[in-house]
Structure 1
Amino acid sequence: MHTLMQIAVVPALLRDALEKVIPNTELMVQQLPKTPIKLWLIPPIFPTERLDDEVIRQIWNNTPYWIFCWASGLAMAQWLLENPKHVQGKTVLDFGAGSGVVAIAAKMAGAKRVICCDIDPISLAACRENAKLNMVELEYLDDLYRAEKVDVLLAADVLYDQSNRFFLDDFLKISPNVWVADSRVRNFDHPYYVKTAEIAATTWPDLDEAKEFNLVSFYHHQQV
């Protein structure tokens, strides 16, 4: 059952950005399952009958990834909160931060510093607003290649496009300790990453995705 909260005022920047892509839809503060984290997200039920061809084209071309908590992000956030030793006292970078869920979880788990990295300025705005909701302090970066070296790099749901696989090598230049979570890649052939676990999770709100996307694979690289 979805727990919805509407106490806070919807941030104008996020509201306006959403309206440009999906008209007549609001954002709501929602509690994520099995976590203390709240996020500004699209309602569980929105008026899909109003989505004409132009709106659908806009959604595909300008997907506002931050309006959902994708399955891999949710799984990684839950995992961090259950296994805080991986980030406690460390400087962490959350790549492709989207809503900021992984970054928020890392900070709640005891990370010393957490950097949200995303090329989309609206996603970074969403990270800021979601950090306020959860009363945590994050840092923000719009270019991975301007990042400092960090203790841990986290990346959830960034490998959905085959052309993104080059990031796996670039991550290793920024951190000796990299965790990747993805629900759309069951395995990838890379000599420096090992598949460590599979965790069940769904996108929130639930998009009723195919069952195959409800299992998140975790991969790890640690330099020794």
Structure 2
Amino acid sequence: MSTNRLDQNLRSTLSQGRVAVSRPAGCPQIALHLFDPSVLEGPLSHDEAQSVVAEPAYWSFCWASGQVLASWILANPRWVMNKRVLDFGSGSGVVAVAAALAGAREVIACDIDPAALDAVSANAALNGVSLTLCDDWDVRPAGIDVVTAADVLYDPENRPLLKVFRESASRVLLADSRVRELGDPVYDLQTVIEARTWPDLHEFEEFNRVRIYVAADM
């Protein structure tokens, strides 16, 4: 996957957009093709701002929860080693790449955005790992051992995913910075780590505190 393809995808919402390789501060072990903020010489036009809000290129940023979960997996590889892992809402693919680097038997990066899967493919190649791509959770491969997900609960309508994940795999690794209380006692809080979206979007400080949860059949 060439960076030209990623640039073209980004320019569908931001005319001067382009990607550059960088290493997020919260997970410097992994290099990613991400939005290059140096292209912004001035404020966005009204049309560009509306386009970015309507169809944000989530894949072109490495969100705080993704960085923290990826770094945590690299530090705790036993959770994914020799397992078949599905990364839900993969975005840039940082968590999927981390799981592959940590020794997972297979990692499936699942995202409904074709541009995100382009980014996942490019970022996997950048880090020398192989990932399987999936564009629809409902047609995911069978036999998933571990589900990983970062910042997928921002919409209250997504809360049922907590149960769906548990029913789909014997182990769920979840990172979230948007919800203070999951309301599901099966998910055990492991740690709270601070990180910032990369490149920095200057979000509210409360969104920089990432909670990692594990739901597992012991």
> TM-score, normalising length from structure 2?
0.93
Q: Distance in 2 between matches of 1:57 and 1:195?
A: 37
Q: Does 1:121 align with 2:121?
A: no
The counterpart of 2:134, out of the listed 141, 151, 154, is 141
Q: Does 1:11 align with 2:6?
A: no
Q: Distance in 2 between matches of 1:187 and 1:35?
A: 29
Secondary structure class of the residue paired with 2:66:
helix
- Compute the RMSD of aligned alpha carbons: 1.6
**Matched-pair contact (CA < 8 Å) for 1:10–1:27:** no
The counterpart of 2:46, out of the listed 36, 50, 53, is 53
Find the counterpart in structure 2 of residue 39 from structure 1. 32
Find the counterpart in structure 1 of residue 212 from structure 2. 218
Secondary structure class of the residue paired with 1:49:
coil
Matches within 5 A, 1:105-184: 105-147=98-140, 148-184=142-178
**Matched-pair contact (CA < 8 Å) for 1:115–1:139:** yes
Unaligned runs of 5+ in 2: none
Q: Distance in 2 between matches of 1:32 and 1:188?
A: 27
Aligned-pair CA distance for 1:25: 2.1
**Matched-pair contact (CA < 8 Å) for 2:81–2:104:** yes
Aligned-pair CA distance for 1:223: 2.3
The counterpart of 1:197, out of the listed 188, 191, 198, is 191
Secondary structure class of the residue paired with 1:192:
coil
Q: Distance in 1 between matches of 2:143 and 2:51?
A: 36
Find the counterpart in structure 2 of residue 3 from structure 1. none
**Matched-pair contact (CA < 8 Å) for 2:2–2:122:** no
Q: Does 1:94 align with 2:79?
A: no
Runs (4 or more) in structure 1 with deviation over 6 Å come to none
Q: Distance in 2 between matches of 1:220 and 1:109?
A: 17
The one-letter amino acid of 1:20's match is S
Aligned-pair CA distance for 1:144: 1.0
CA change 1:24–1:111 in 2 (3 A) is same
CA change 1:10–1:47 in 2 (3 A) is farther
Secondary structure class of the residue paired with 2:12:
helix
Q: Does 1:103 align with 2:96?
A: yes
Find the counterpart in structure 1 of residue 19 from structure 2. 27
Q: Distance in 2 between matches of 1:146 and 1:50?
A: 41
> TM-score, normalising length from structure 1?
0.91
Aligned-pair CA distance for 1:183: 0.9
Aligned-pair CA distance for 1:36: 2.1
The one-letter amino acid of 2:33's match is W
Aligned-pair CA distance for 1:35: 3.0
The one-letter amino acid of 1:107's match is A
Unaligned runs of 5+ in 1: 1-8
Q: Percent identity between the aligned chains?
A: 42
Find the counterpart in structure 1 of residue 74 from structure 2. 81
